[in-house]
Structure 1
Amino acid sequence: MCQRITTFAIIAIALMLIALFITGRTVPSTAAACPGDFDGNRRVNIADFLAFVVVFGTSSADANYNSQMDFDSSGSVEIADFLAFVEVFGTECGDGGDTNATGLFTQTLFHNGITREYIIYVPGSYDGTSKVPLMLNFHGYGGIANQYLKYADMRPLADIENFILVYPQGTLLNGYPHWNSGLESDNNKSDADDFGFVEALIDEICSRYNIDSARVYSCGYSNGAFFAYALACYHSDKIAAIGSVAGTMMEETYNNCRPVHPMAMINIHGTSDYVVPYGGGSAGLLSIDEVLAYWVGFNNASNTPIVNRMNDRGVTIEHYSYTDGDNNTSVEHYKVIDGGHVWFDIGYDGSNTSRLIWNFVSRYDIHGTN
């Protein structure tokens, strides 16, 4: 055991130094993330690294296992967790208490007896003098917010467009982080009050920052997209427009959907998604055509879409735009031919997935086009 730790420590330190040398990054105290700060001193340093070495190779069955060091929640502390640790090594953790501070912060919110976590990014252009939009981006089932942030990174957009960006963290269900998009019932396997958490989160952020409450947007991937649809249905008083990537609506959400205003919606989905099938299927999942039909009908948009097709690096993408809805709302769909269950690395007319979502939702406030 000692030999394994010593060997690993030598290799790990060398890799860490190489990584830091290659990236040459320095992170100011107001712009750092807190994951990896195991000793709570607001800095990810060598003491945290040594603590990580002690539990490397352990699993949930071992006494020394520490779930905080299991970055990907796989049940064991492995090389993937070490690589995630390297990403944050050398950073300092701002406490986010200064609402004039910009950068990336990990924050907590106590709700319904549980300490909930979220990552907030405040762009350097924010100075508090004018109202800015808020974008909530929800990870998929099993997702970790600080990893999803890199996978579906909207920070460059936030810098350019001057909006505050939040990646909330879901709670565990059967050992995996999730979002509870269902209503309270005996059939719901989750008892997480995620709707209440998000409402409290929006209120908290609006109280600390100069947020345009009419321009709060929600998007998500997979289970996070299910949740974005549910927010649009059950809490539309808080949400102006939504975006979905590789997600759909549950029949329960469809049957109980009661938005209080026309809701602009953009959907990006692959035809070869076998996790959330394009054509719907078992477990009460609507097909993408059914989802589009619902929102087109609810918004009283044109049933005849404007259709365009393009090819990006061998990937065919069809764009459907249903316009002229109430309050000038619209519904858009990007159909990725043979696309799988991913946050797509595509470019449509020069825009990637994040840009497509932002360009769409930002046209609207809670009253329609802004």
Structure 2
Amino acid sequence: MRKLLVGISILVMAAAGIVFYGANGATPEVAPAPAPCRDARQLPAGTSTQTIRSGDHTRSYLLHVPATYDGTTRAPVVVMFHGLGGDPQTVLDATGMADRADADGTILVVPLGRGEPARWTFRKPASDPSSDLAFVHDLVGQVQRTACTDPDRLFAAGFSNGSALTLALACDGTTRFAAYAAVSGPYYEPRCDDAPPASIIYFHGTADTTVPFGGADTVIGRLPPVNTTMSQWATRGRCPASGAFTTADDSIHHFAWRSCKGGTDVDIYAVVGGVHGWPGGGPMSPGRASRTQDSPVDATALLWSFFERHPASRSAAGGQ
């Protein structure tokens, strides 16, 4: 496994220049407040189950609305995707995202995959009605019609199978998210080469045996090596420089590509010895006892900070 990490280091240092960043990256930029919604779109605070008709199926999702939502002030939206066999409530419980959303006035949208076990179809383009990329496009449209949302602060996050879907959304571009956070599910295919640059933060444990860091055939198909995948995203973003930050105890390898096309950034956190899970969170599979996963990294805190620094006004990913 150390050989893989050395391989990433060589890849990073081969770039045009080396810049070292702290764990939180650049200082967040404050985006101007968007104009309020002309018509109040009232929603009850808390978590509720909603449904949507997409293609030939009725789908469900959890909608979490913070108490500060007033129906006229445009709220950020984070759409989160569970892993294979997961469910929306487990995602909320394991990641602590609801607490973050409540503190920052953000709406969370957490859909349920299809099938048994529940999964995401991410290899088909959004033009295919059976693709979950098409479903996500419909889902975001419904949320934006019924809630007062900020089109420049629409974000996607996912774990494992949901991570692959998140990166597939960045490839497809039909639904324009401002930035993407992916955990333990690398994805890149040739069709991604033609997509706009995207701001991406990615986490993966080097001891993951479910989705190996070095790539493997998995229950959701072949997934590529993490270092190959993320260097492809950086190349697609035309990133001119790269950087690395390693903790003193060598438990985290943080690689950051900065000043990419359109103001986008690409970050990787390789958790040395980390397994298949949400760094700093609880179990991502339903039915397991709630516990904190030992990790030198808090994925939720880092991705939240990353999202705050990457509204669509700074990103080529755009917004609706």
Q: TM-score range by the shorter chain?
A: 0.7 to 0.9
From 234, 247, 259, the counterpart of 1:296: 234
- Residues 313-356 of structure 1, C-alpha deviations (whole Å, 9 max, x = no match): xx8122111111112211111110011101122665xx721111
Query: Does residue 197 of structure 1 match 2:135?
Result: yes
TM-score (normalizing by structure 1)? 0.65
The equivalent residue for 1:136 is: 79
Determine the C-alpha separation between the residues in 2 that align with 1:212 and 1:191: 27
The equivalent residue for 2:3 is: none
Q: How many residues align?
A: 258
The equivalent residue for 2:113 is: 170
Matched position secondary structure for 2:256: strand
Determine the C-alpha separation between the residues in 2 that align with 1:363 and 1:236: 23
The equivalent residue for 1:65 is: none
Q: Is the 8 A contact 1:236 1:259 kept in 2?
A: no
Q: Root-mean-square deviation (CA), in Å?
A: 2.2
Q: State the 1:260 CA deviation.
A: 4.5
The structure with the largest alpha-carbon Rg is: 1
Determine the C-alpha separation between the residues in 2 that align with 1:297 and 1:237: 22
Determine the C-alpha separation between the residues in 2 that align with 1:269 and 1:324: 23
The equivalent residue for 1:365 is: 311
The equivalent residue for 1:206 is: 144
Note the residue ranges of structure 2 that are not aligned, 5 or more in a row: 1-40, 281-293
The equivalent residue for 1:256 is: 191
Q: Is the 8 A contact 1:316 1:336 kept in 2?
A: yes
Equivalent position amino acid for 1:163 in 2? T
The equivalent residue for 2:258 is: 323
TM-score (normalizing by structure 2)? 0.75
Equivalent position amino acid for 1:203 in 2? G
Deviates more, 1:156-165 or 1:232-241: 232-241
Q: Is the 8 A contact 2:241 2:259 kept in 1?
A: no
Flag the structure with more relative contact order, 1 or 2, with Cα contacts below 8 A and sequence separation at least 6.
2
Same amino acid, percent of matched pairs: 28
1:93-242 pair list within 5 angstroms: 99-172=42-115, 175-183=116-124, 192-235=130-173, 237-242=175-180
Q: Is the 8 A contact 1:271 1:278 kept in 2?
A: yes
Determine the C-alpha separation between the residues in 2 that align with 1:234 and 1:194: 11
Q: State the 1:304 CA deviation.
A: 2.9
Determine the C-alpha separation between the residues in 2 that align with 1:128 and 1:302: 42
The equivalent residue for 2:223 is: 285
The equivalent residue for 1:274 is: 209
Deviates more, 1:338-347 or 1:317-326: 338-347
Greater helix content = 1
From the superposition, tell whether residues 366 and 236 of structure 1 become closer, same or farther in structure 2 (CA, over 3 Å). farther
